[in-house]
A and B are shown apart, each in its own frame.
Chain A
């Protein structure tokens, strides 16, 4: 099983921080327009949000794993609900590599695998180095092209 790049924790922490700041701004708006919210509470909420975000990010990094098996892409992830997913190569519709601004700054990239399903129809593997992402995309694409999917979905 392959783990994610350790810098992914920074990305998740940054995302948690952005969320905490947005919540803080919303609370500040409530304070300004609707009812008084003590500054201590706003600060407290933001700090607690940050701490939880950091803890969650670290734990998530510890459990996240994936592997290319003989017939399927296999992933394990999740802190609150632990999910083991198998995506058979025959079911791969197309493969993306993606990265957002924060990921780019951290030198990370994601691979997203799309299926025709309803739930977990797109499976994202975050926290890969751009080279590894490229390589994974190539591998998955080849495996998808090779496998037959003649049954009309």
Chain B
């Protein structure tokens, strides 16, 4: 195991010294304020003590931080009081970054960051090592990753050969263009990974193609922090091609003006609410005057200071309508400007999109990074028979954003369904509904919420002049329809190669998850669900964004069904992975808008 550069002991010492100094000061002052026996003035003594202890801690941290390269994994152990020892298999490493600030450059040092897929944080950060050591590490990791891949490739090939030999003894040689290394002896050739067409070529290991450990030329991090060595490996929004839809690219979908208008008018953006509120806070006076003026013809008060309760009521209603209308108009304009001229195309096996009226956005979505596909539709869109198609991708590192990207903002439902089926290869789902017990659960849940609402109004009536709190009992009328609507929109389908999950009334999302994209499966039962014999199944896929949409969940099905799907998902993940390894299949049909979806020339 190796230690960091000795200079990092100094920086850690100072860092923790000042941290603990301020911590000791704040703690002494706060505790001195609360408890009489402690004097706030003690900080004169505690702060230097904190500093000394902090320095000691920082130095101890340096001595307790170790990293090392083993045949299979990169290991890091750290921590003084709390210890952590981490083992990262080489094959899971996505990125090795070197970073140098001014200080590091001055002293010939570098910060090495090692990233794996998922999770927003850096998995191992060596802060810091000498430049030569950093380059050695990068080269070593690259080489060992290549070794592991090579071992695997040969093992697979051997397995394939054995299979073929058994299958057809008459055939002497496999017909594929196998490399000479098809003999069972493992060779130490390092040149193979570069021509690594066996695996998916958008290698998650950016450094692999260059086996030389002392060639930092094309490395992302020698000076710049951006891990942009391999643009195809990330689903980022960086501009990839300056010209709109270059010659290599093929158009897959254009958002027609009609669809753009429908999309603008039928979708609502919460950002519009934020925008309106923002403007209101900055120009409260003029806006209130304006609202009063607008409400006047309808019987509102002549001035905000003078008016009867009726005229105030009218003012409130008219202003509320104004607010809603303005927010809606803003939302329509925002959507229009954002999705104006939306185009989706393909370049190789990447989806490329661009959109925007005032500012043009473009980005690419590598097909092999697509984790799941979601069809969304809100009540309005469902009414007119339209829906949108989104793809979820996984990203890693600070520069690449995973998350949801719109592949087709809005199109006729029939087309969207055809797109989805072409894109993922899923069969038309026959949805299963949760048991009716689930609806009873929502009835109970919404009744509780309604009760809380009434209680709040009752409380308000006690505290303010507002008296007719009992009118709020009307909310109970919304409970049965709400429960029913939530229930009827739930559904799931266990397909041959995909799991399809539908949920949500306001935004109904139908997510198609290929089994081979499953990360973990969780069966969850709250105390309420246990009483009713229900369970929810959470099917997790890879993504670095957690806040956008909730994880696909099959809500409130019978425990037995949930366990069945749980087992099925796990089994099919394994078989699908085996199949994919054999067929080298991308799993995503890039030409999904093509009517025959078999890759013929696109009809323009």
> Which A residues fall within an 8 A CB radius of B?
25, 28-29, 32-33, 71-72, 78, 80-88, 90-101, 104, 114-123, 137, 141-142, 144-145, 148-153
Contact = CB atoms under 8 A, between A and B. Distances in A.
B89 interface: yes
A42 B83 CA distance: 35
Contact of A88 (B371, B394, B543, B573): B573
A149 B90 CA distance: 12
Nearest to A72: B570
A28 B519 contact: no
- Most chain-B CB neighbours within 10 Å: which of A86, A94, A123, A145? A94
A32 B394 contact: no
A152 B369 contact: yes
26 contacts: A29-B33, A29-B34, A86-B520, A87-B520, A88-B518, A88-B574, A90-B574, A96-B84, A96-B85, A98-B84, A104-B83, A114-B118, A114-B123, A116-B542, A117-B542, A118-B541, A118-B542, A119-B520, A119-B540, A119-B551, A120-B540, A142-B72, A145-B73, A150-B200, A152-B204, A153-B369
Contacts of B543: 117-118
Interface of B: 30, 33-35, 72-73, 79, 81-89, 91-92, 116-119, 123, 148, 152, 199-200, 202-204, 233, 366, 368-369, 371, 394, 396, 516-527, 530, 538, 540-546, 551, 566, 570, 573-574, 577, 580-581, 587
B513 to A, nearest CB: 12
Given A25-B34, A98-B82, A151-B368, A120 B117 contact: no
Given A80-B526, A86-B521, 14 more contacts: A95-B86, A96-B86, A98-B83, A99-B82, A116-B542, A117-B118, A118-B118, A118-B545, A119-B546, A141-B89, A144-B89, A145-B89, A150-B580, A152-B202
A100 B81 contact: yes
A90 B91 CA distance: 11
B525 A82 contact: yes
A32 B368 CA distance: 60
Contacts of A152: 200, 202-204, 233, 366, 368-369
Contacts of B35: 28
Nearest to A148: B581
Contact of A83 (B91, B119, B516, B522): B522
Contacts, number: 190
Contact of A118 (B92, B152, B369, B546): B546
B200 A153 contact: no
Given A100-B82, A118-B540, A145-B89, A151 B200 contact: yes
Main secondary structure of the interface of B (DSSP, over half): mixed
A152 B201 CA distance: 10
Contacts of B202: 152
Contacts of A145: 72-73, 89, 91, 148
A85 B72 contact: no
Contacts of B527: 80-81
B83 A117 contact: no
Contacts of A142: 72
A44 to B, nearest CB: 19
Contacts of B200: 150-152
Q: Which of B86, B200, B394, B519 has the most CB of A within 10 A?
A: B519
A92 B91 CA distance: 11
A92 B119 CA distance: 12
Nearest to B567: A86
A100 B83 CA distance: 6
A141 B72 CA distance: 9
B204 to A, nearest CB: 5
B88 A85 contact: no
Contacts of B538: 119-120
B149 to A, nearest CB: 9
A14 B181 CA distance: 59
A36 to B, nearest CB: 14
A42 to B, nearest CB: 12
A6 B72 CA distance: 33
Contact of B87 (A86, A94, A104, A115): A94
A82 to B, nearest CB: 5
Contacts of B118: 93, 114-118, 121, 153
Nearest to A76: B523
Nearest to A134: B85
Contact of A123 (B83, B520, B541): B520
A34 to B, nearest CB: 12
B204 A153 contact: yes
B117 A93 contact: yes
A56 B142 CA distance: 47
Nearest to A90: B577
Contacts of A28: 34-35
Contacts of A90: 573-574, 577
A86 B92 CA distance: 19
Contacts of A72: 570
A137 B70 CA distance: 15
A153 B394 contact: yes
A7 B72 CA distance: 33
B523 to A, nearest CB: 4
